[in-house]
Structure 1
Amino acid sequence: MVAGVPLLATACGGAREVVEGVGVLFPLGDAAQLAQGLKHMAGLDAGQREACALHMLQRLQQRFSDQAVRGAFWQLPQVRWRERGWQVIDAAAYGDTWQRFGGSVATHPLVIEQLADLAQIPVRYLGFPQDGELKAALPRRWGFPATGAARMAEVVERLRELLIGSVLFLEGAPIAIQLVYRVEAPQWISVEYVNGGVDPETKAFSPGLNMSANKQQLLKRHRKRKRVILLVLLVALLLTALWAWWLPPVLALVLWVAHEAWFSDHLFYVPGSDYQYDLQASERHALHGLGGVLALPKDCQLDGNETLLLRVNLRAGWLGRLLDPAVRIEGGVADCQTFERGVRGVRYLNLGGQAEALGAGRLRLSGRHCRVAPEMELLVLRHTDYLAGSLMVIAPHADDAELAAFAAYAQAKSSWIVTLTAGEIENAYYRETFGLDLVEAARLKGELRSWDSIAVPRWAGVPSQQCVQLGYFCMQLPAMQAEPETPVASREADLADTRPFRRFNEVALRSDADGRPTWHNMVQDLRELIERARPATIVMPHPTLDPHPDHVCAHDALQQALQGASWQPQNLLLYANHLHDNDRWPMGDAGTGVPLPPFFDAGLPMRPWVLGVGEQQQRQKAIALGMMHDLQPAAPFKRRVRRFLQRCLAGRRWPAFGDNEFFRKAVRRHELLWKEQRAILDRLYEGIAADCECDIRWLTGDEQADLRGYFHRHVQIDQYDRILFFLRFKKEIRQARFIRTIPNLVILEHDAYQNYIPCKYTGKFSEYYRQLPWARVITSGAVVTRRLRDEGFDAVFVPKGYDQALLRNENRERDIELAFVGSLRSVAYSGRKQMLESIAAALGFVDMHNIVLYRDLEQLREKLAQLRADLALAERISRNGQQLAEQRYTFHALGQAITEAMRAPLRPAAKPGLLTRVLLALGLSR
């Protein structure tokens, strides 16, 4: 809306026109009068309320005409009417009004013009005239199917010159823009702000990273290419009729058979492309497969629990273009890992379970329909034991947990399965089998899959009390995320209540009280379950590899739930049940190994973890999948014909225990998960190790809880000049009596700020450190360090930083002028400004040298003018800022800073008293 005063209500009498989502803005000066009037109206009858409301609106209209009215306005929540009095105006009049009064990017005349043209719809503009002059104008809402995520690239190109803010790119394609189609009702749509696209009929919203849209674009391109080829072949077939009338039908049949046998795979990349990974390996070793035999280097020691990957270069033979090429692994556990037809380039074999044979030098590789180059690289990834503690699997739909992590949750010490949606849509089988209508079939399918999500995990020994179905609706999570407080109903079940699909739960949730299907409720459900289950490891969908919209949203919801949760897991593992560029992965037969999937973004660090699945557990997994109702219907006739042709002509095989493609994909020798790559602390420790001799030890949760036992078994304190603790504070504080016996102690603590804020740890850090007066505390807060020193503690400031492998300069030109401009009107601004001034020196900030600081809006304008006039200065500040970050804030640099902070002599340590020594010796105290 564009107006001289930001007001969208008039009092011109007559019937009201209903409009969804129109807010009414009132001058602040009228707020008190309005509140009194509303309170007075509550006691009137209907006729009196109507007269009173009309009087109040007339008063407000008088204020609208006052050109002196400016400043702040008070917004009433979503008043849903608009009085008559608006009239149709042309685009030129609207544009003139926008230029006079201003407005948002979304209301810019050129934005509306471009998007309307892109969507091929007419736009009508409305204006509110008064005294012969327009006082307000707005584009009338548009009822049309949004262009949405599938055409987001076109939207960006249309608006390139108008966008304000950053545009993110993935492989050169835009994935997030600062404009959005926001659904206000299923039949209405308006252009507003930030992130992706919406289909108004489905309310499917695609925020941020939009691999789902990428898959649809790839599929559209694939089908278009096939249509072009089909047209060419059709013309060629018709021409063959010039030689013989029977040739076209015979050749058409041959071509159709060839297509079904060899060319029907959905492969949206060139098989000759190298897979491009940035794998965060603990060790890398060059291998030479002489005669196909692999020998482990002498300096590589394996215990059998590592994830082992082999980087190989494959080249398909001529048969490998018609039959699936594969690499046979022999000499250990026999395996055969399959790749794309026509493969040519770098691939990654999974050597999970082959450590013994590799160490003994008897592991052999041989190519089937492909050649394996002798130069290889072994990648060793060492992981903690994720199954030693409790595990929680987040499944967007029933069967996702079983497909991705059945063996993992079956082997874990304790497991929880949390399923987000009932999976009620795509229910044609139930309509046809039982003669149900759409709503009945959707409800039946939702109930069956809800039952599956509770009952099937029991096959693996998971108690039903630890299986929870949240009952939200399939393919509606993106719409919920778009409007977190708005309930989003099922597409097909005619339900806007989650409780019918929760009836099998044995766990009560707070959201059971209202059953509202909102994003806010789902996030709260996840937070509540995390705090109740207290899992050491959470398994959830991979937001980059898995493009399913519900899977992306499941990851986002979990991350949001962890913010503010009183319990934080030690590990996050990710899985991918769907890929955006290869529908057959993992390729090959059931029961074989799982190589790494196709991936082409070397800028994204990744850390895979492989869990071996024995033959017996594969059978258990197949049975669990067979119990899932959604995987039981037989394959359609077309697919059965295709499989017959591929079995006869392409040598492909499908398992006997299930028709669904997931039985082939999921019942394998390995389960492949990915460690969440937030920050790799290994690189922080590498920075420490680069500057001193040290032993770095990872302690499990149980070992952290029993430091006395761990030190007794594994550590001789007098062999070390310093012992650095980087542990959970709640584990430390419970063992203060034992920790007092460590004389050379340094504590690295990032959460000491909680000592000075209202929380359960207020003052606890000071209380703990007073028991360790000789210990040095390294904190990541300059103000916290200062306050600890004031209390007499030996405190040193080393700031937090960033993982240099996750964040680096890609030398791409920015499309925004400024990195950050803080709000001067924020009530917290003055406090932030004062704090920044006090710690700027400690952080290395120098105004107009490596950063730009400002004290008020006028100074900001002056400095911006200076930078725009002196591009060399702007470039120098930018370069110096990057240099500061790289020299002082990388994990490697911080590791060295921590080492330096440990070097200075510590205060003399007090010897533990006799009672403490006796209690510790008897194991009666920690």
Structure 2
Amino acid sequence: MSSRPWLHRHRIALLIALLAVALWGHCRGSSYRNFFQHDPRQAHDYALDRRDGQTFEVRLTRNGFEWPEEAPEPGVTAFLELHVKTRVLLPSLDPSIEFRSGDRNFSQSFAPRSTGRRYLNVSPAAGPGRVDMVGRQIGWRTGPARLVVFANRPIDESTRVLVVAPHPDDAEIAAFGLYATTLADVVTVTAGDYGGKNYGGLFPETGEHYRIKGLIRTWDSLTVPFIGHVPINRARNLGYFDGTLRTLHERRPRKVPAILTELQEPGLFRRVNTEPQLATRPFESSWPALVEDLRREVDWVGPELIAAPNPLLDNHADHQYTTVALIEALEERGWDGALLLYTNHPTRAEPYPLGPNTALESLPPWFGDELPFQTVLSYPVDETTRRLNYLALEAMHDLRPFEHRVTTPFLERARDLAEEAVWRALGRHDKLPGYLYDYLRRGPRPNEIYLVLDLEQAVRLKERFLEIEAVRGH
């Protein structure tokens, strides 16, 4: 009889412990769910087997797979299509798959609670032999699996490339490795004169603040590419106003003013360019002028490849309409190169790519409509270039926590630092200020992902995007 109270207490303690574990597991994943506008149990769908690549069946075991003898080897982009599953009760914050080929190790991170079809980027493991795989808080279905391999087009230091960025820092986030290793020009469309009031402690008057912010970010867009071996005359900023590109399209051909910036001369930001033909060219904030400016840039550079945002995969209106204007310009010109479309603000998955900046980038979440594209390019970035990319992003004023140094009272800042120290000690990097959004985590990766399209496919993509916009009322 005397043992029953003891047994009863232990049952209660066990129940409390189980509830605490379940609650803890729920909380571990909740911080991520706020940033994902989709169910992580939903299968991703790029229909890679219907693209211009080769598909091979491999036997996937708990430990990896054998690279098919008949499959192409180095110089390819390769994705293993697999079905994953993560723990339900205690979801990891950073589930990942590590894989090894020869003496090289790689990893790719996934969202908590990931379930269903995913694409493991095994491009750097291409070659004869076994690809060994280890799941960290994530597993996969064994048995037959598809390996899709795309032949990469030759790209070297003589390849003529045009990188089109909607804002200062977009080129560095998405395409630094590409422009640092080719004969590239970097053209930024807007001055970046919108968004947060970063320098309000120095310039409290709104109109003046955004004029100064636009000038600083324009200068960043012209000088930072030099870290990636792009001389200042090959980096240009067209000087359009941040946050206005959708409005330019909706109100075409009318002019659209800056949103918050106080300007005596609308062409102020364009005048900052060191390239004289652009700096002295008349400026007009209208859609026809934007299309014409981009057509001039294509004619000036004569690129074989153009990197720009993907309107269907990128959620930012300026990014979407940058590429709409670019495709219109290419249609007028009849260009016959290849478009490399990147994604900086993935639709329904802003924190992509996940995990540390040493992890490989793969395809962002996509469901539903089939995307127009030909192939996928996983562009490799060597370690020195990746580290230079980190420095280039750090050099961008808009990516620095400047406001804390000027406007935050000492005690408030001390509290923030103490809170940050606690989360670091607990290993909860997801709780650190801006961790999921941080472009110094998201940007400098060992590879860059592009969907590759010809002009015909790009026109289809533009038309599909505008159809979706019309349904939404834009």
With the shorter chain as reference, the TM-score category is 0.7 to 0.9
Q: What is the Cα deviation at residue 312 of structure 1?
A: 1.0
Please give the alpha-carbon distance, in whole angstroms, between the structure 1 residues aligned to 2:264 and 2:105: 52
Residue in 1 aligned with 2:190?
A: 421
> Greater shift after overlay, 367-376 or 576-585?
367-376
Structure 1 residues 677 and 319: CA distance shift in structure 2, 3 A: farther
Structure 1 residues 524 and 328: CA distance shift in structure 2, 3 A: same
Q: What is the Cα deviation at residue 551 of structure 1?
A: 0.5
Please give the alpha-carbon distance, in whole angstroms, between the structure 1 residues aligned to 2:247 and 2:300: 28
Structure 1 residues 520 and 347: CA distance shift in structure 2, 3 A: same
User: Retained in 2: the 8 A contact 1:489–1:496?
Assistant: no
Please give the alpha-carbon distance, in whole angstroms, between the structure 1 residues aligned to 2:380 and 2:417: 31
> Within the alignment, does 1:343 sit opposite 2:110 as a pair?
no
Residue in 2 aligned with 1:277?
A: 46
Secondary structure of 1:465's aligned partner:
helix
> Within the alignment, does 1:390 sit opposite 2:160 as a pair?
yes
Q: What is the Cα deviation at residue 659 of structure 1?
A: 10
Residue in 2 aligned with 1:581?
A: 348
User: Retained in 2: the 8 A contact 1:438–1:493?
Assistant: yes
User: Retained in 2: the 8 A contact 1:262–1:650?
Assistant: no
> Within the alignment, does 1:530 sit opposite 2:307 as a pair?
no
Q: What is the Cα deviation at residue 382 of structure 1?
A: 1.3
Residue in 1 aligned with 2:228?
A: 460
Superposition map of 1:402-801 within 5 A: 402-412=172-182, 414-432=183-201, 434-495=202-263, 497-509=265-277, 512-565=280-333, 568-601=335-368, 603-606=370-373, 607-633=375-401, 647=424, 651-652=428-429, 661-676=438-453, 679=456
Superposition map of 1:71-150 within 5 A: none
Q: What is the Cα deviation at residue 386 of structure 1?
A: 4.0
User: Retained in 2: the 8 A contact 1:261–1:646?
Assistant: no
Please give the alpha-carbon distance, in whole angstroms, between the structure 1 residues aligned to 2:97 and 2:22: 30
Please give the alpha-carbon distance, in whole angstroms, between the structure 1 residues aligned to 2:269 and 2:279: 13
Please give the alpha-carbon distance, in whole angstroms, between the structure 2 residues aligned to 1:659 and 1:600: 22
Residue in 1 aligned with 2:31?
A: 264
| Corresponding residue to 1:308 among 42, 55, 78 | 78
Listed one character per residue, the Cα deviations across residues 218-257 of structure 1 (whole Å, up to 9, x for unaligned) are xxxxxxxxxxxxxxxxxxxxxxxxxxxxxxxxxxxx9999
Please give the alpha-carbon distance, in whole angstroms, between the structure 2 residues aligned to 1:591 and 1:635: 28
| Corresponding residue to 1:380 among 116, 137, 149 | 149
| Corresponding residue to 2:57 among 286, 290, 314 | 286
Q: What is the Cα deviation at residue 440 of structure 1?
A: 1.4
User: Retained in 2: the 8 A contact 1:309–1:350?
Assistant: yes
Q: What is the Cα deviation at residue 301 of structure 1?
A: 3.2
Structure 1 residues 641 and 597: CA distance shift in structure 2, 3 A: farther
Superposition map of 1:38-53 within 5 A: none
Structure 1 residues 570 and 678: CA distance shift in structure 2, 3 A: closer
Please give the alpha-carbon distance, in whole angstroms, between the structure 2 residues aligned to 1:259 and 1:639: 25
Q: What is the Cα deviation at residue 427 of structure 1?
A: 4.2
Residue in 2 aligned with 1:323?
A: 93
Listed one character per residue, the Cα deviations across residues 792-823 of structure 1 (whole Å, up to 9, x for unaligned) are xxxxxxxxxx99xxx9xxxxxxx9xxxxxxxx
| Corresponding residue to 2:68 among 275, 292, 297 | 297
Please give the alpha-carbon distance, in whole angstroms, between the structure 1 residues aligned to 2:368 and 2:322: 23
Structure 1 residues 293 and 478: CA distance shift in structure 2, 3 A: closer
Structure 1 residues 514 and 441: CA distance shift in structure 2, 3 A: same
User: Retained in 1: the 8 A contact 2:76–2:152?
Assistant: yes
Structure 1 residues 330 and 647: CA distance shift in structure 2, 3 A: farther
State the structure with bigger RCO (CA 8 A, min sep 6), 1 or 2: 2
Please give the alpha-carbon distance, in whole angstroms, between the structure 2 residues aligned to 1:647 and 1:283: 44
Please give the alpha-carbon distance, in whole angstroms, between the structure 2 residues aligned to 1:300 and 1:563: 36
Listed one character per residue, the Cα deviations across residues 683-715 of structure 1 (whole Å, up to 9, x for unaligned) are xxxxxxxxxxxxxxxxxxxxxxxxxxxxxxxxx
Q: What is the Cα deviation at residue 639 of structure 1?
A: 8.8
Secondary structure of 2:167's aligned partner:
coil
Secondary structure of 1:295's aligned partner:
strand
User: Retained in 1: the 8 A contact 2:28–2:93?
Assistant: no
Structure 1 residues 667 and 629: CA distance shift in structure 2, 3 A: same
User: Retained in 1: the 8 A contact 2:215–2:269?
Assistant: yes
Q: TM-score normalized by structure 2?
A: 0.81
Residue in 1 aligned with 2:8?
A: none
Structure 1 residues 479 and 640: CA distance shift in structure 2, 3 A: farther
Q: What is the Cα deviation at residue 605 of structure 1?
A: 4.2
User: Retained in 2: the 8 A contact 1:393–1:417?
Assistant: yes
Residue in 2 aligned with 1:142?
A: none
Please give the alpha-carbon distance, in whole angstroms, between the structure 2 residues aligned to 1:569 and 1:515: 28
Structure 1 residues 320 and 589: CA distance shift in structure 2, 3 A: farther
User: Retained in 2: the 8 A contact 1:261–1:645?
Assistant: no
User: Retained in 2: the 8 A contact 1:393–1:539?
Assistant: yes
Q: What is the Cα deviation at residue 483 of structure 1?
A: 2.1
Please give the alpha-carbon distance, in whole angstroms, between the structure 1 residues aligned to 2:101 and 2:285: 54
Q: What is the Cα deviation at residue 264 of structure 1?
A: 2.1
Please give the alpha-carbon distance, in whole angstroms, between the structure 2 residues aligned to 1:510 and 1:463: 16
Q: Structure 2: which 5+ residue stretches go unaligned?
A: 1-20, 405-412, 464-470
* Largest Rg, 1 or 2: 1
Structure 1 residues 482 and 662: CA distance shift in structure 2, 3 A: same
Q: Structure 1: which 5+ residue stretches go unaligned?
A: 1-253, 681-801, 808-814, 816-926
User: Retained in 2: the 8 A contact 1:409–1:415?
Assistant: yes
Secondary structure of 1:495's aligned partner:
coil
Please give the alpha-carbon distance, in whole angstroms, between the structure 2 residues aligned to 1:564 and 1:679: 13
Q: What is the Cα deviation at residue 283 of structure 1?
A: 0.7
Number of aligned pairs?
Answer: 424
Superposition map of 1:159-170 within 5 A: none
Listed one character per residue, the Cα deviations across residues 178-199 of structure 1 (whole Å, up to 9, x for unaligned) are xxxxxxxxxxxxxxxxxxxxxx
User: Retained in 1: the 8 A contact 2:314–2:347?
Assistant: yes
Listed one character per residue, the Cα deviations across residues 745-769 of structure 1 (whole Å, up to 9, x for unaligned) are xxxxxxxxxxxxxxxxxxxxxxxxx
Secondary structure of 2:198's aligned partner:
helix
User: Retained in 1: the 8 A contact 2:84–2:138?
Assistant: yes
Please give the alpha-carbon distance, in whole angstroms, between the structure 1 residues aligned to 2:82 and 2:310: 25
Q: What is the Cα deviation at residue 535 of structure 1?
A: 0.9
Q: What is the Cα deviation at residue 653 of structure 1?
A: 7.3
Whichever residue aligns with residue 293 of structure 1, its letter is G
User: Retained in 2: the 8 A contact 1:318–1:369?
Assistant: no
Structure 1 residues 531 and 259: CA distance shift in structure 2, 3 A: same
User: Retained in 1: the 8 A contact 2:340–2:453?
Assistant: yes
Q: What is the Cα deviation at residue 259 of structure 1?
A: 7.9
Q: What is the Cα deviation at residue 534 of structure 1?
A: 0.8
Listed one character per residue, the Cα deviations across residues 423-474 of structure 1 (whole Å, up to 9, x for unaligned) are 1112422112x14311111111111101011101111111211111111100
Q: What is the Cα deviation at residue 580 of structure 1?
A: 2.0
Q: What is the Cα deviation at residue 383 of structure 1?
A: 2.8
Residue in 2 aligned with 1:371?
A: 139
Structure 1 residues 496 and 259: CA distance shift in structure 2, 3 A: farther
User: Retained in 2: the 8 A contact 1:261–1:642?
Assistant: no
Structure 1 residues 454 and 257: CA distance shift in structure 2, 3 A: farther
Secondary structure of 2:248's aligned partner:
helix
Structure 1 residues 258 and 653: CA distance shift in structure 2, 3 A: closer
> Within the alignment, does 1:400 sit opposite 2:170 as a pair?
yes
